[in-house]
Structure 1
Amino acid sequence: MKTRILLFAALLFAGTIVFGQECDNGKYIEVTGTSEITLVPDEIHYLIEIKEYWIEEFDGKSKPENYRTKVPLSEIEQNLRRALNEIDIPENAIRTQEVGDYWRERGRDFLISKRFDITLSDFNKIDEILKVIDTKGISYMRIGELKNKDMQAYRQKGKIEALKAARKKAAYLVGALGKLLGDVIRIVEPQENVGYSRFYAAQSNVSSSQAEAFETFRTIKLNYSMVVRFEIK
């Protein structure tokens, strides 16, 4: 999948502006420059947890005390893998992340669960997964980690854009006072902010119609903020 880049060389001028003097009486201005880069991931980790269930849970009439027919985890897993294979997701892309267990009701029903980490390269595969799987026995599905193989290059670009934004901001502020911007005195790099949204789907509301909701959750956003102190000539 080709990586699409939406680069917001956002010269967002929010931040602290400080005019002052160094201890040697040198005048300076300190500003904050910011930037944001939005990119499409080329590696998507989709998490699916399955759990044992009772057939009577879904007949619409049985009470919990009347549940008798348990569907074993092995059968649920087999059906899940078969469905994933139908949409060309290879076995080596499916990794067992953890196996757990819990009581449906303390002291009575002991049920087993298992979570899978499925590596995808295209968000369209998530849409396909939602269409082919049987949601009975699915505890939850959600997007895990998003990655891009060129992340380091984008990080560098984001920091450079933030520095450019800081210089532009400082230049027009100093220019408004009839002064000239001098050399850089100090650069402070705050902690990087990497964000992406996660989509959660519970068993009760998993459906193919939810594919539309993913449109706004398919990107990685890298936000950078650089604090720079410049000399005032």
Structure 2
Amino acid sequence: MKKLLLIAATLFATSSTFAQNVEKEPVRKIEVTGTSEVEVDPDEFYIGITLREFFKDEKNQKDKVSIDVLEKQLIESVKAAGIAKEDLTIGGVNGFQTYSPKKKPAQFLESKQYILKLSKLYNLDVILSKVDSRGVNNTYMNRVEYSKKEQIKKEVKIKALLDAKEKAKYLVEALGGKLGDVLIIQEIEEGYAAPVMYRSQMMMAKTEAAGADVAPSDLEYQKIKISYKMQVAFRIQ
């Protein structure tokens, strides 16, 4: 019985030592980084518009044009341009006080921020020309997007992986080896740059010129750049 136990212990120790030696044997592998990049034209433009109440008689602070009137003008203009109602949203509401030089009680004026989503920029000036220019405090480019960016991201990632595989293949084969299975895939960098460089010749129609033809905006913008880097480890056979 003692001999059997001794033999079993010896076999266990031997198998454990063998397993440790196998585990310690280094895996022959190669790690490479694949890259891919694509540029697309933005097709969603988010324009910030701020409307502000004002007095027709600024000197005497009389005949106030309310934010409701200005908002109605904007909504009707957006509707006339064929833009969906849900593409115009409220971004915020603010207010401020004005003081008359004749020391009348201060009056409260309201301002309201909107975000207008456009698929094209050329009709921006036309839309704003139908809103009383004295009530338009400012406009700005809030952001631009590409509607199919998630699909593009997937495609760019796949291309980055294939680029990594191609690199690893010719490097290993150059040394007489053969590329094996994938060991690790790691996404190490994402790039989604949407810089907008634009210049605008905004033609804001004055009240007396309401209804006059307005030239389209003169706008220029850069493409959206989507890039990925994928780090991949392959076994060397």
Residue 75 of structure 1 is matched in structure 2 by 69
1:140 aligns with 2:144: no
1:89 aligns with 2:83: yes
1:196 aligns with 2:197: no
Structure 1 portions without partners, runs of 5+: 1-21, 58-65
Residue 34 of structure 1 is matched in structure 2 by 35
Q: Distance in 2 between matches of 1:51 and 1:199?
A: 27
Residue 226 of structure 1 is matched in structure 2 by 230
How much identity, in percent, do the aligned residues show?
Answer: 30
The answer to whether the 8 Å contact 1:54/1:71 transfers is: yes
When residues 79 and 173 of structure 1 are mapped into structure 2, their CA distance, relative to the original with a 3 A threshold, is same
How far off its partner does 1:133 sit? 4.8
SS across alignment from 1:49: strand
RMSD: 3.7
Q: CA-to-partner distance for each residue in 1:85-144, whole Å, 9 max, x for gaps?
A: 443334443222322224568x95643211222233334343643665554332223243
When residues 143 and 157 of structure 1 are mapped into structure 2, their CA distance, relative to the original with a 3 A threshold, is same
- Amino acid aligned to 1:160: I
Q: Distance in 1 between matches of 2:126 and 2:198?
A: 16
The answer to whether the 8 Å contact 2:90/2:112 transfers is: yes
When residues 87 and 210 of structure 1 are mapped into structure 2, their CA distance, relative to the original with a 3 A threshold, is closer
What is the count of residue pairs matched by the alignment? 198
Residue 114 of structure 2 is matched in structure 1 by 116
SS across alignment from 1:197: coil
Structure 1 runs, 4 residues or longer, greater than 6 Å off: 199-202
Structure 2 portions without partners, runs of 5+: 1-22, 100-104, 204-213
Q: Distance in 2 between matches of 1:104 and 1:197?
A: 37
- Amino acid aligned to 1:213: L
User: Relative to total residues, which structure has the larger strand share, 1 or 2?
Assistant: 1
TM-score, structure 2 length as denominator?
0.64
The answer to whether the 8 Å contact 1:99/1:112 transfers is: yes
The answer to whether the 8 Å contact 1:142/1:201 transfers is: no
- Amino acid aligned to 1:95: T
Q: CA-to-partner distance for each residue in 1:159-209, whole Å, 9 max, x for gaps?
A: 10010111122233334444433322111113533232346889xx74488
